[in-house]
Amino acid sequence: MATPDKPFPTKWPFGVLMTAQWVLSFAALIAVWSLDFWWAGARLVHYTAATTFGTALFSWFAHLFGLHKPLQLGQIHFYIPFAITKFVYSTIMFVLYIPSMWFCIYYMFVGFNYTGNTAVVNAFAAVFCALAGGTCGYLALLLYRAAENKPIKLLGMYIEGTTTVKFASTKESTTETAGAPQKV
């Protein structure tokens, strides 16, 4: 049975980075939602922040409640490969946050010509996009290094708050006990 990991959000690096991903993307969403009007690039900022918020929050709750580990309920084995999905979407969102940040910076300077909160909100959105993109990029880099520069190895790993743990699948050698975690 899955056991909750209550101190997960405070564990460095993975717990803190995964918490920062959804918090910063939610802050970017709030900044975009509070704009007086949307420029052409605001849709990309909104899409990037909303996608990161949804996927990161789902993954964060799974880690918080212990559902990220391989589970066995009787004869049923259950495992969602969060490490590989987190690597893939963190890499994609890192790439999407770069133009999002530049759109926000550009529209911040354009917003000085208008009254209202356009320039200030775009400045906040640019900062939140830069920070959220940085957390996505750093998390992808940490997972890439944990997989020994072969991302396909992330299928046999799960993320703890401070480390990644490798478990043996049925296709690997029989010298390791299936499901026995090994610290990486």
> Which residues are 165's β-sheet partners?
158, 183
Q: What is residue 174's predicted lDDT score, i.e. its pLDDT? A: 38
Q: Output DSSP code: residue 178.
A: B
Which strands, in side-by-side order, build the sheet including 157-159?
157-159, 164-166, 182-183
Q: What is residue 79's predicted lDDT score, i.e. its pLDDT? A: 75
Q: What is residue 168's predicted lDDT score, i.e. its pLDDT? A: 60
Q: What is residue 182's predicted lDDT score, i.e. its pLDDT? A: 53
Give the torsion through C-alpha atoms of 152, 156, 70, 84, to 10 deg.
-30
Which residues, at least 6 apart from 89, have a Cβ–Cβ distance to it below 8 Å?
51, 52, 55
Q: CA-CA distance, 60 to 65, in Å (whole number)?
A: 9
Spell out, as residue ranges, where the chain has pLDDT lower than 50. Answer: 170-180
Q: At 159, which amino acid appears?
A: I
For 164, the enclosing helix (H) or strand (E) is strand 164-166
Q: What is residue 177's predicted lDDT score, i.e. its pLDDT? A: 39
Q: At 154, which amino acid appears?
A: L
List pLDDT tens digits, range 45-82.
999 999 999 999 999 988 888 777 777 777 777 777 88
Q: What is residue 129's predicted lDDT score, i.e. its pLDDT? A: 95
Which residues, at least 6 apart from 175, have a Cβ–Cβ distance to it below 8 Å?
none
Q: What is residue 125's predicted lDDT score, i.e. its pLDDT? A: 93
